[in-house]
Structure 1
């Protein structure tokens, strides 16, 4: 079973996608489950994790409502205000497919915001509810997430898009490598093989992305790396089929068990996608 561990849906009229300026005009349209279904089917994808694309509770409720009528959605990573009344928000969002939350750290100017006392209190309450945190970060956050993992070992952390390495040719840089290696020392931290086509830009290919793949896989291993499409943001750089094929090419030398982990089993385990039940 292939799981796409990272994809989005949006309905523009909802009005809370503040990042959708002219630079993303190509994907600034309603993109919903019927748009993804044929792409997923062609790639053999049998389930997805739908991830928030706006920092509102309403966005999370929108995704959860889609999951009620879309069997393809196996889990939802939503958003909540970590500086507010977190238990009350979790009660509002309680749903059998809510699996985690994602503060949009890349958009917060204060790099160390995630280590504020009130945010840490909120994250402890997230962990107590049995939820995870997706980390939407860039290399400037790597040391902060290392400190977060030390402060809250009970909170599962999933690094989105391999922490968005900055490429110089095919080289993601020594600082990125060291940061990823440090995060991998924490057993509760895992990483998504996603978003790399967009970060590399024009001319991306499996060989050019392989240095990132090789390093992430060497650090985290098959039990803590999961493939995701980042669709429809992916469409700014390429197609669903091309990215899926590139990931398969990079993984060609892995064992069957390792490939099954990368393309499904790790996401199923880390996000508990086979479990249906209300959060605690």
Structure 2
């Protein structure tokens, strides 16, 4: 297993809301409350977190739309454990983003069921649309068709989010960013949260083409940022699909090396969206292939070193809490 060299925690008193992490218990991977709290307790001041769907604990023996609700039930239980205060001050899973098939049947019933199961913590839906023509690029876990976000069936379900007071997390690869822009323009009343700086690819046919990928990605990010209903998550660059190759190393990179690699992508997003529409994220444990949780947040703090105190509060906590309405938590 690769290891990370321990580092001194930078700016340990800076309050953080981690707006993107997962929980799961798979045959070869476990990341539940104990593992999460070990990471959030590794030195940074993580006050609260938002869980994002990841196929954890679906109900068995029921149709898919109902099965997805099982994940929300499970996460709400974890959030209730954390809210008791018996596990420390971090409020884990204070917001929940679940999965629904927005292109499927019974969307209204599915959304209402998630809201009930979330007991005041359910905030939005992620229906991943990540797809690429290359067989070297694994599609999202939702097995989306090409052009999902433009399909009439998907858009009919997407339109229902407004009446349920829910936001939408978009997960796609960088060649699909224009699809998110079209969706945002068609539904300006629905908040769209762009995951992982838009999903830049650096493997398969995109390997060795960093400058070309960056130029295309930057153009489309700047276009998307013109839509005021879109917010961006600043992270996810530790994933193997981004092509940095850190996961192949026996000793994982330092926060300084990570900051150097990630800075152009994250600074471009901050310049385009501004701190009121940008939020740093961990994407843990997925990004754990490239760095430890503590090193990841050190890297993000290095990138934000030149920001003002007000800008840091927005990027590290306040924008996430506002967008996910965490001050409304525990109101069923």
TM-score, L = length of structure 1: 0.89
Contact 1:206 1:246 in 2 (8 A): yes
RMSD: 1.8
Deviation (angstroms), 1:192: 0.4
Give distance in 2, aligned partners of 1:104 and 1:166.
Answer: 16
Deviation (angstroms), 1:176: 0.4
Q: Match for 2:109 among 69, 83, 88?
A: 88
Deviation (angstroms), 1:59: 2.2
For residues 1-280 of structure 1, what are the structure 2 equivalents within 5 Å?
1-12=15-26, 28-41=28-41, 42-54=43-55, 56-71=68-83, 72=91, 73-82=93-102, 83-94=104-115, 95-106=119-130, 107=140, 108-167=143-202, 168=208, 171=211, 172-198=213-239, 199=242, 200-202=244-246, 205-276=258-329
Q: Relative to total residues, which structure has the larger helix share, 1 or 2?
A: 1
Contact 1:170 1:211 in 2 (8 A): no
Contact 1:6 1:194 in 2 (8 A): no
Contact 2:95 2:329 in 1 (8 A): no
* Larger mean Cα displacement after TM superposition, 57-66 or 136-145: 57-66
Runs of 4+ aligned structure 1 residues displaced above 6 Å come to: none
Give distance in 2, aligned partners of 1:64 and 1:122.
Answer: 24
Based on CA coordinates, which of the two structures has the bigger radius of gyration?
2
Q: How many residues align?
A: 265
Give distance in 2, aligned partners of 1:244 and 1:66.
Answer: 23
Instruction: Mark the runs of 5 or more structure 1 residues left unpaired by the alignment.
Output: 14-27
DSSP 3-state at the match of 2:326: coil
TM-score, L = length of structure 2: 0.76
Instruction: Mark the runs of 5 or more structure 2 residues left unpaired by the alignment.
Output: 1-14, 59-67, 84-90, 131-139, 203-207, 247-252
